[in-house]
Structure 1
Amino acid sequence: MKLLMIEDNKSVSEMMNMFFTKENWDAEFAYDGNEAIDKFKQSPDDWDIITLDLNLPGIDGMQVAQEIRKASQTVPIIMLTARDSESDQVLGLEMGADDYVTKPFSPMTLIARIKALHRRAELGEPTKTDENKEATSGFDVQTDHFRLNTKTREAYLLDKQIEGLTPKEFDLLYTLAKNPKQVFSREQLLELVWDYQYYGDERTVDAHIKKLRQKIEKVGPQIIQTVWGVGYKFDDSGVVAS
């Protein structure tokens, strides 16, 4: 794995580098926003994961996340923040982060989060059912109006591609779409999509649903429905082709 850690505290970077080395990861470091953007844009397709401190000198982490997302919609980003404010954490997710870890953090906690996010971002190993579906249709999920392919990480509504999906947004859409009309609670989605529990941090799901819906609405009607007091479901039965 090739990892870019954007962190202005060199002590934290040096500590984490020991853990990254133990995992045999190729880690590079940037200590301010401008350096981070320059380093990332030199080879945006080469990075497997980014860890991004929210509080950086010069250009802050929010702006860095935006610039990274302009260059790559798919590279996973874990935001590191000392802030406890819900609004800061939700804003970071809306700016393109896939996950966040609040400082101070345990190195092993960050390692576990990186592994979980990287595992989800990789092209998944399809189940036998998925393989059979793809053999016949080319897509893992296909309805009259919607198609999704986990190998190409592409989703289409009314034959128009839903563009700019981050790894977590794609996984969230896939989880809902492969179980149409099934209602998932936020807790269930945290376990299924994030691969670990967020200990009640349901706003993570809500922030990703909000961004996912915005991207869906650019190509067609809304297919992610809210079931008030319960959670969310995928339902394209009401879609009418123009």
Structure 2
Amino acid sequence: MKILIIEDEKKLGTALKKGLEKEGYVVDLAFDGEEAKYIIENNFEGYDLVILDIMLPKIDGISLCKDLRAKNFQAPILMLTAKDKVEDKILGLESGADDYLVKPFSYEELLARIRALLRRPKNLMPTVLKVKDISLDTVSKRVFRGDIEILLTNKEFAILEYLMRNVNRIISKEQIISHVWGYESDTLSNVVEAHIKNLRKKLERKRDENIIETIRGMGYRIKE
């Protein structure tokens, strides 16, 4: 799952990013509304959740939320604010936010809200992905080929999950970098190639077909 945090308090934003990455999420971070708008418009369907502070420089959170919903941005939006008046909460929800969390908040509550939003029907995804005899459990972070467990690194797991969620689709190296390493990552394409090579070694058996196909000049694909 990929999350965008939009928070002008750099210390808080950076702490949330690090914490959520430890939980297994891929996280991008923007410090003002204008930067966030640019990131989303260039990766419109790339986020599963947005955490949005209301009090932002350049474009405030309410205006940004309204603009995104007007453009049919579908990902759930969790608003953060220091304002706890009922009218402020109503304003946030009526602008298109799915939930509202007042600062200061506990990190455990934030995690609970995130999980609840990602479980909502319009965002519901299977927790166990299966392609051929490969199964990937997104909760336990375990991968099996048949009855044999395959031990993967965090990045290998994230790449495999991304490919399996997009079965039969060609995914470019750039898309993998953005989704697995983050929007502003300076990761090179040869790093992706190295991870794909390692994935193949771990997943494939002797005289086996390529589980992960290379589509020359385009990217990679897992077929059913």
TM-score by length of 1: 0.50
Question: Residue 122 of structure 1: CA displacement?
Answer: 2.2
| Aligned equivalents of 1:8, 1:40: Cα separation in 2 | 16
The aligned residue for residue 141 of structure 1 is none
Contact 1:37 1:67 in 2 (8 A): no
Q: Secondary structure in 2 aligned to 1:5?
A: strand
The reply to whether residue 91 of structure 1 matches residue 91 of structure 2 is: yes
Q: What is the correspondence of 1:82-161 to structure 2 with a 5 Å cutoff?
A: 82-120=82-120, 121-123=122-124
Deviations 1:26-51 (A, max 9, x none): 10011001001111111111110000
Q: Deviations over 1:182-201 (max 9, x none)?
A: xxxxxxxxxxxxxxxxxxxx
Shift of 1:7: 0.2
For residues 75 and 7 of structure 1, the distance between their equivalents in structure 2, rounded to whole angstroms, comes to: 17
Q: For 2:125 and 2:24, how far apart are their aligned partners in 1?
A: 22
Counterpart of 1:20 in structure 2 is: 20
In 2, the alpha carbon distance for the partners of 1:124 and 1:118 equals 8
Partner in structure 2 of residue 34 of structure 1: 34
- Judged with a 3 Å threshold, the aligned counterparts in structure 2 of structure 1 residues 74 and 60 are, in CA distance, closer, same or farther, namely same
2:49 and 2:76 in contact (8 A); partners too: yes
Contact 1:8 1:31 (8 Å CA) reproduced: yes
Paired with 2:72 and 2:106, the residues of 1 have a C-alpha distance of 28
Give distance in 2, aligned partners of 1:48 and 1:72.
Answer: 14
Distance (whole Å) between structure 2 residues aligned to residue 42 and residue 7 of structure 1: 19
Cα drift, residue 106 of structure 1: 1.1
Which residue is 2:57 aligned to?
Answer: 57
Q: Residue type of the partner of 1:118?
A: L
Asked if the contact 2:54/2:80 (under 8 Å) is kept, the reply is yes
Unaligned residue ranges in structure 2 (runs of 5+): 127-224
Contact 2:51 2:80 in 1 (8 A): yes
Which AA in structure 2 matches 1:24?
Answer: G
User: What is the alpha-carbon distance in structure 1 between the residues aligned to residue 18 and residue 73 of structure 2?
Assistant: 29
Residue 5, structure 1, aligned to residue 5, structure 2: yes
Contact persistence 1:53–1:61 (CA under 8 A)? yes
Task: Structure 1 unaligned segments of length 5 or more: list them.
Answer: 126-242
- Equivalence for 2:157: none
* Map of 2:76 onto structure 1: 76
The corresponding residue for 2:214 is none
Q: Which amino acid aligns with 2:5?
A: M
The code of the aligned residue for 2:117 comes to: L
Task: Provide the rounded CA distance (Å) in 2 between the counterparts of 1:60 and 1:122.
Answer: 26
Residue number in structure 1 paired with 2:143: none
Give the conservation status (yes or no) of the 8 Å contact 1:54–1:62: yes
- Report the 3-state secondary structure (helix = DSSP H, G, I; strand = E; otherwise coil) of the residue aligned with 1:58: coil
CA distance in 2 between counterparts of 1:24 and 1:72 reads 27
Deviates more, 1:90-99 or 1:107-116: 107-116
Retained in 2: the 8 A contact 1:41–1:71?
Answer: no
1: CA distance, partners of 2:125 / 2:20: 23
| Equivalent residues of 2:48, 2:76 under 8 A apart | yes
Aligned CA-pair RMSD: 1.4
Percent of aligned positions that are identical: 42
**Distance in 1 between residues matched to 2:68 and 2:100, nearest whole Å:** 16
What is the Cα deviation at residue 107 of structure 1? Answer: 1.4
> Aligned with 2:119: secondary structure?
helix
